[in-house]
Amino acid sequence: MTMTLISAADLAGRLDASGPGASDIRVFDVRHDLTNHAAGRQAYDAGHIPGARYLDHETELAAPRTGKNGRHPLPTRAELGALMAAHGVTPQTLVVAYDASGGMYAAHLWWMLRWLGHERVVVLDGGWQAWVAAGLPTTTDAAPAVRAGQPVEPGAPLVASVDAQAVLDNIDRPAFTVIDARAANRYRGEVEPMDPVAGHIPGALNRPNGENLQADGSFKSAEQLRAEFAGLLGGRDPGVIVHQCGSGITACHNLLAMEIAGLSGSRLYPGSWSEWCSDPSRPVAKGA
């Protein structure tokens, strides 16, 4: 069974038992703001979970941008493995990711590590807010130094992806269904705050990733998510679902939600809308 979520109480218990610098657990703070790239580091410096290590979605969890490969292109699996090794992650390490945005950035790291072949990775349910609301300790201290290990050799990926050409071919010869995780007004092409072109990939369905959450920012139950996605999928097998969003981040939130619901096997289009709309020859749809 795929590892997905961990509660604040469970994480606190594990840290109490092993210590924040223990080799069998690594907590990563991936708080971020797409419109203010300094905000995540500033939030981390102001207070974080003891032992947590900060990772930047712009500089560490993305490859260089070319203007044609989207706003958050994936690094190579070898580069990601080297980054994890620098933080002392081994194949046996339990990695815990958290943010303050309902899990959208944490879910991206969760997917990336599974893409690397790392099975022991979970998202803190409710994120930073759940930790603080539970009255658990925070700190401004730097994370304990760790001994960098050998670069984590990429294993067999535990998740799959598709590229822009596959999505383009799929329009005329449908083999999968795309689900767009952006807000409904962005999907319909009414507004576009991040990218130069508004609209969506022709044939894509819409599931705004915020619909995966309860009012307190934690994920809905597996049963509720399963029912909601079943209604959207309309009998489609999860294996024929491809997720996308603006730049490949919030799409992972829908992918994680499907895993929580027991609907395993869907894929990611990492380049997403920001890559798609960078080529004016690719078709654009608008409306519901």
- Of 121, 152, 245, 251, which is the active-site residue? 245
What secondary structure, in 3-state letters, does the chain show? CCCCEECHHHHHHHHHHHCCCCCCEEEEECCCCCCCCCHHHHHHHHCECCCCEECCCCCCCCCCCCCCCCCCCCCCHHHHHHHHHHCCCCCCCEEEEECCCCCHHHHHHHHHHHHHCCCCEEEECCHHHHHHHCCCCCECCCCCCCCCCCCCCCCCCCCCECCHHHHHHHHHCCCCEEEECCCHHHHCCCCCCCCCCCCECCCCEECCHHHHECCCCCECCHHHHHHHHHHHHCCCCHHHEEEECCCCCCHHHHHHHHHHCCCCCCEECCCHHHHHCCCCCCCCECCC
Is residue 245 part of the annotated active site? The answer reads yes
Active site positions, annotated: 245
